[in-house]
Amino acid sequence: MALLEVKGITKTFTRRKKTPHIVLENMSFSVEQGQYVSLLGPSGCGKTTLLTVMGGFLTPDSGQIILAGNKVEKPGPDRGFVFQNYALFPWMTVKENILYSLQVKKLSQREQKERLHELLEISHLFGSENKYPVQLSGGMQQRVAVVRALASRPEILLLDEPLGAIDFQMRELLQEELAALVEGAKTTVVMVTHDVSESVYLSDRVIVMSANKGQIVKDVYINLDRPRDRQSPEFKGYVSEITELVRQAFSEKAVDIELPSGFAETNVNYNSQASFTDAFNRMSNRYSRVNHGRAAK
């Protein structure tokens, strides 16, 4: 049986004096143990909504999420959630942040210490455990956020655009770090992203969603060895295939979605024709700039 089952999720947002907007309609798929799955699609396609439902922060109108045989009803430590802006508690040290889920569970000091050691080991954060988040670089913050989510040994890791706020040069480096970290932890991952190259680099499977009621355009399996070579023809092939799929996914106009406070769909606005082109160029440029960057070296 699959580890995570998404069964017929439908979610509609109703706004005053507006026609109800169906974000997700009868969305179903399953994720196997150990898989790294990306949800990719234009803004407003409901990918963050879906992840929010998986996290238990939002209740679907119908359908259910089954994780390891249990129905997801509210947020819980069986799912490690990494937020777009990491949401590290600034008043806690790295150590306190990482151990928060264990401290809430009132685990013994010895267990906490052991777990901390393991987590610092896989995240290469030794020596920084007594620092505060404000004193860390963006990459270190990301690693803290990921190992904090891993601390309670969750069944699955849910990543909401983990590199959304990172500038382009840093992004690739952090993608590599993230790949190594997740590989080391041997965990199952569902990640939301709007970056094609990122999804191909990190995932075993990319689910391309359309802005039309969150329908699955295509479920692409990435059969490439790790670590992946961004320059290989196969890699580029996947990127252009998926880019083409995303272009199709744009055909339906997206509508603003009201998510629970704190969550946001991708901040790029694809609504008008002009911003559509703009956004699309940005997506494809991201890919071509990768090549230029490498070629120059």
CB 4 within 8 A of CB 190: yes
Farthest CA pair distance, the chain? 58
Among the listed ranges 33-41, 97-105, 168-176, 275-283, the one in contact with another protein (CB under 8 A) is 97-105
Is the CA virtual torsion 267, 158, 29, 19 positive or negative? negative
- Tell me how crowded residue 282 is: count the other CB atoms within 10 A of its CB: 13
Helices (H) and strands (E) counted in the chain, each on its own, are 9, 10
263 part of the interface to another protein, by CB under 8 A: yes
261 part of the interface to another protein, by CB under 8 A: yes
Regarding beta strands 79-82 and 156-160, do their DSSP bridges make them parallel or antiparallel, or are they unpaired?
parallel
85 part of the interface to another protein, by CB under 8 A: yes
Among the listed ranges 34-42, 98-106, 242-250, 266-274, the one in contact with another protein (CB under 8 A) is 98-106
Least separation, in Å, of the C-beta of 150 and another protein?
A: 11
Nearest to 47 by CA among 249, 272, 271: 249
Among 43, 152, 187, 215, binds another protein (CB under 8 A): 152
CB 146 within 8 A of CB 86: no
Least separation, in Å, of the C-beta of 31 and another protein?
A: 18
Distances (CA, A) of 12 to 174, 175, 214: 35, 33, 11
Least separation, in Å, of the C-beta of 165 and another protein?
A: 13
DSSP, collapsed to helix, strand or coil, labels residue 280 as: helix
Place of tokens 């706004």: 15
From the number of C-beta atoms within 10 Å of its C-beta (0-12, 13-18, 19+), residue 12 rates as: middle
Choice between 68 and 224, CB closer to another protein:
68
Least separation, in Å, of the C-beta of 228 and another protein?
A: 29
115 part of the interface to another protein, by CB under 8 A: no
Q: How many residues bind another protein (CB under 8 A)?
A: 37
Among 135, 231, 281, 291, binds another protein (CB under 8 A): 135
Choice between 72 and 246, CB closer to another protein:
72
Least separation, in Å, of the C-beta of 18 and another protein?
A: 23
Least separation, in Å, of the C-beta of 261 and another protein?
A: 4
Residues 215-254 touching another protein, rule: CB under 8 A, are none
Which residues are near another protein by CB under 8 A? 55-57, 74-77, 79-81, 83-85, 87, 89-93, 100-101, 104-105, 130-135, 148-149, 151-152, 260-263
